[in-house]
């Protein structure tokens, strides 16, 4: 129930911010759309811990701030490699362990890896992830596991991972 | 629009342009499809973020800025997904990354290492 209300609230806010026309007719359209979308989502049974992860809301902000710093650092690192005449790259493929309990956590981890220039997630199998790194030391940094641990803490905070969101296999 | 805000906006847009151009140069200089993805990654992370920040300064505290930030949020959710789809398709069709000397790069299994920190 809390998830349904949160979804509705988020949609109302999205409508109000995107619309910018606050006349009764348009607001009524907005309300009708929000109710219709929530009703369809409930009927499709997709309002769950994955589509509305409210248990992570508080932790997302601190994770994003950390991730933003990592992205900036990685961008500068790759930019240096691009402009350096010697092209100092040593492409590496690595299988790494993912320690997240659920699929959503794995997706956040894989997307975070890809968002950071210099590392791209290539394949995800059960609790292992294949990563391509632009240089050996970039791969070593990732293998040290700080990002993995942070995503696990992000996902594990709040409620325990529900059974249906378990490992992919 | 004060001179200071205009200057800040210009600085952000120019910094964004630098990373987009760097992404383009990297796309040309890097040797294979995998490493080129890293170059492309600069365009849609810091490049896009700096561009949108620069435009948000022009927009001020308005709904336009809110929409710009939403665009940034959607880019940050969709672009890694698209990159993963591309990387996975390349991997699944049997293309293997190359080292600088042109030899194929084998995957090193480090999944049995416990993660530190």
Q: What pLDDT does residue A66 have?
A: 94
Closest to B43 in 3D by CA, of B75, B11, B68:
B75
CA atoms within 13 A on the CB side of B9: 13
Are the C-beta atoms of B27 and B43 separated by less than 8 Å? no
Per-residue confidence at A162, pLDDT binned at 50, 70, 90?
A: very low
How many angstroms away from the CA of B10 is the closest CA of chain A?
19
Chain A residues with CB under 8 Å of B110 CB are 94-97, 143
Q: What pLDDT does residue A54 have?
A: 83
- A80: its two tokens: 């240096």
pLDDT in tens, A101-134: 888 899 999 999 999 999 999 999 888 999 999 9
Q: Number of residue pairs across A and B with CB atoms under 8 Å?
A: 152
Chain A residues with CB under 8 Å of B73 CB are none
Q: Residue range A17-31: average pLDDT?
A: 93
Chain A residues with CB under 8 Å of B105 CB are 91-93
Per-residue confidence at A155, pLDDT binned at 50, 70, 90?
A: confident
Torsion-angle region of A96 (φ positive above 0: left; ψ -120 to 50: alpha; else: beta): beta
Choice between A26 and B111, residue whose per-residue pLDDT is larger: A26
Contact yes or no for B42 and A79 at CB 8 A? yes
Q: What pLDDT does residue B90 have?
A: 94
Q: Tell me the average confidence (pLDDT) per consecutive run of 10 residues in chain B, 117 residues long.
A: 90 96 94 92 93 94 92 93 94 88 81 63
Statement: residue A167 has pLDDT above 80: no
- B105: its two tokens: 């790069």
For the entire predicted model, the pTM comes to: 0.86
Q: What pLDDT does residue A157 have?
A: 65
The answer for residues whose C-beta is within 8 angstroms of residue B107's C-beta and 6 or more apart is A93, A94, A95, A130
ipTM of the complex: 0.87
Q: Is B28 exposed, middle or buried (0-12, 13-18, 19+ CB in 10 A)?
A: exposed
Considering only CB atoms, B87 lies closest to which of A91, A115, A120, namely A120
């Amino acid at each position: 129930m809390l998830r349904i209300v949160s979804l509705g609230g988020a949609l109302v806010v999205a409508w109000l911010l995107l619309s910018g026309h606050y006349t009764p007719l348009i607001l009524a359209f907005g309300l009708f759309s929000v109710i219709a979308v929530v009703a369809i989502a409930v009927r499709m049974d997709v309002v769950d811990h994955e589509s509305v992860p409210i248990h992570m809301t508080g932790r997302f902000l601190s994770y994003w701030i950390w991730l933003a710093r990592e992205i900036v650092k990685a961008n500068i690192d790759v930019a240096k490699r691009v402009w350096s005449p010697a092209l100092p790259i040593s492409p590496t493929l690595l299988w790494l362990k993912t320690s997240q309990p659920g699929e959503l956590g794995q997706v956040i981890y894989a997307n975070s890896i890809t968002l950071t220039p210099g590392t791209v997630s290539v394949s995800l199998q059960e609790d292992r992830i294949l990563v391509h790194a632009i240089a050996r030391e970039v791969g070593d940094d990732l293998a040290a596991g700080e990002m993995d641990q942070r995503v696990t803490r992000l996902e594990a905070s709040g409620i325990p991972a529900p059974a249906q969101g378990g490992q992919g296999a | 629009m004060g001179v200071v805000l205009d200057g800040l906006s210009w600085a952000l847009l120019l910094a964004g342009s630098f990373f987009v151009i760097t992404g383009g140069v990297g796309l040309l200089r890097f040797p294979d499809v995998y490493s080129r993805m890293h170059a492309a990654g600069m365009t849609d992370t810091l490049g896009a973020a700096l561009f949108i920040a620069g435009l948000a300064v022009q927009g001020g505290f308005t709904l336009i800025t809110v929409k710009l930030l939403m665009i940034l949020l959607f880019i940050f959710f969709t672009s890694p997904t698209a990159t993963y789809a591309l990387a996975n398709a390349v991997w699944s069709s049997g293309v293997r990354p190359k080292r600088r000397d042109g030899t194929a790069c084998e995957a090193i299994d480090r999944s049995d290492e416990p993660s530190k920190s």
